[in-house]
């Protein structure tokens, strides 16, 4: 592997001083102050979803990594002066076909890789400045960590029977994983600088063999996938970069939700890392039972108590609806106990906005106590129907 693998010559064309908004003769303190101001204003944790500021944060970090270090700054200045004076044949990043004076950058880098004449001088300067033997220069910048989606969050909500039918907006108090408030999710002690994780070399993952000639990527145990490590971990999160966040959100429960149903609310979970999207919130809904009504799919069900004579002779009775005016139920004469009547459009609201039906089942109620008048009437009915072979089929079919 070449010692210059990952070298990006286009860096010579970048003005890191302009990126930080400082002059070329700025002091180290002025450079640091400018970097901190820009990094704070464009940090991904403070600007979730703002791609432009995320890119600016990477550029600012890249610039400070070079001119914020005295040795790198000196070499960068020297390289920039040569580039500006045309010292690289064919223009930087050097080509292999240019004519005229100067030298070819590709040749210089090849010489350095093979230990030739170009192994010292500018070859060493480039290697030191941009990471040496395939180092950090060829990888994503130290602060340009991978965006990660936030964790999904589970919660439970109990709502009334009526709210389940009509839909309701509820407040949920959530405690979820979040970036550590002390280090803003970096995992490092505030004021300290990170460096590329030596275990994964800044990739954020390691390659593990699973046998049979196959391998798989695993999150790096050294940096937890963040690509960077700090020599001094954050005293609050002990280097994990994570903490907890308590917040209250408004969640819309749609009409027609059923007891035990699990609802997904996109983007309402834990905050993402490094500009990544928030996770999702999953709410398991518990519906409190109603004293009269029950659910039957998209319909409502209601047991209606009736007298024997109402079924035998027929009747018109009033029954309630949920949240509406009573309706009249017409019972034909000779209606058997347990028959269900359908009242159109008085049920639960469906997902498509239409409304189900009300299923009213008649149930004969036998009085526990009869007054003298009622008793005589019942006895008269018994005498009148004494010869009715009501249970004849029980015996004729018992032996079949």
Question: What's the predicted TM-score (pTM) here?
Answer: 0.47
Cα Rg of the chain, angstroms: 39
- For 278-324, the DSSP string reads P--EEEEEEEPPPSSEEEETTEEEEEEEE-HHHHHH-EEEEE--TTS
327 within 8 A of 360, measured Cβ to Cβ: no
Residue 94: the pLDDT is 40
Tokens of 358: 């009300």
Residue 10: the pLDDT is 54
Between CA 297 and CA 285 the distance in angstroms is 16
Between CA 391 and CA 179 the distance in angstroms is 76
49 within 8 A of 86, measured Cβ to Cβ: no
- Going along the chain from its start, the domains and CATH numbers come out as 9-138 (1.10.287.110), 153-194+230-287 (2.60.260.20), 293-384 (2.60.260.20)
Burial class from Cβ neighbours inside 10 Å (0-12, 13-18, 19+) for residue 385 reads: exposed
Mean pLDDT per 10-residue segment, the chain (400 residues): 40 82 92 89 79 86 86 81 54 41 45 44 47 41 59 90 90 79 84 86 78 75 80 86 80 88 88 80 94 91 95 94 92 95 89 87 93 93 84 71
pLDDT digits (tens, 9 = 90+) for 181-215: 888 777 888 988 888 888 888 777 888 776 666 77
Between CA 142 and CA 253 the distance in angstroms is 43
Closest to 280 measured CA to CA, from 241, 242, 251? 251
Tell me if residue 142 falls in helix, strand or coil.
coil
């Amino acid at each position: 592997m070449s010692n210059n693998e990952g070298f990006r010559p286009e860096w010579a064309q970048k003005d890191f001083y302009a990126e930080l908004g400082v002059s070329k003769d700025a002091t180290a303190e002025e450079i640091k102050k400018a970097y901190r101001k820009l990094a704070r204003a464009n940090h991904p944790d403070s600007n979730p979803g703002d791609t432009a500021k995320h890119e600016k944060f990477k550029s600012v970090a890249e610039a400070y990594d070079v001119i914020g270090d005295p040795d790198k700054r000196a070499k960068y200045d020297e390289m920039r002066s040569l580039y500006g004076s045309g010292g690289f044949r064919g223009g930087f990043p050097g080509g292999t076909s240019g004519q005229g004076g100067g030298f070819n950058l590709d040749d210089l880098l090849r010489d350095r890789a093979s230990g030739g004449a170009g192994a010292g001088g500018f070859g060493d300067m480039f290697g030191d400045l941009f990471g040496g033997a395939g180092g950090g220069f060829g990888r994503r910048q130290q602060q340009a960590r991978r965006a990660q989606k936030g964790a999904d969050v589970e919660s439970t909500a109990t709502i009334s029977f009526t709210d389940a039918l009509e839909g309701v907006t509820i407040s949920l108090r959530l405690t979820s994983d979040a970036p550590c408030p002390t280090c803003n999710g970096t995992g490092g002690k505030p004021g300290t600088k990170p460096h590329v994780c030596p275990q994964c070399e800044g990739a954020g993952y390691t390659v593990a063999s699973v046998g049979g000639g196959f391998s798989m990527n695993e999150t790096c145990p050294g940096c937890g996938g963040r690509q960077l490590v700090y020599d001094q971990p954050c005293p609050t999160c002990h280097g994990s970069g994570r903490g907890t966040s308590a917040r209250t959100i408004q969640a819309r429960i749609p009409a027609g939700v059923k007891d035990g149903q699990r609802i997904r609310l996109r983007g309402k979970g834990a905050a993402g890392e490094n500009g990544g999207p928030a996770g999702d919130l999953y709410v398991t809904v518990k519906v409190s039972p109603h004293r009269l009504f029950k659910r039957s799919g998209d319909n409502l069900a209601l047991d209606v108590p009736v007298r024997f004579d109402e079924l035998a002779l027929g009747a018109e009775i009033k029954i309630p609806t949920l949240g509406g005016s009573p309706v009249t139920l017409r019972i034909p004469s000779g209606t058997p106990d347990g028959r269900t009547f359908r009242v159109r459009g008085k049920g639960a609201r469906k997902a498509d906005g239409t409304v189900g039906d009300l299923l009213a089942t008649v149930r004969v109620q036998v009085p526990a106590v009869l007054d003298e008048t009622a008793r005589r009437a019942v006895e008269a009915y018994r005498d009148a129907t004494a010869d009715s072979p009501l249970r004849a089929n029980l015996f004729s079919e018992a032996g079949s």
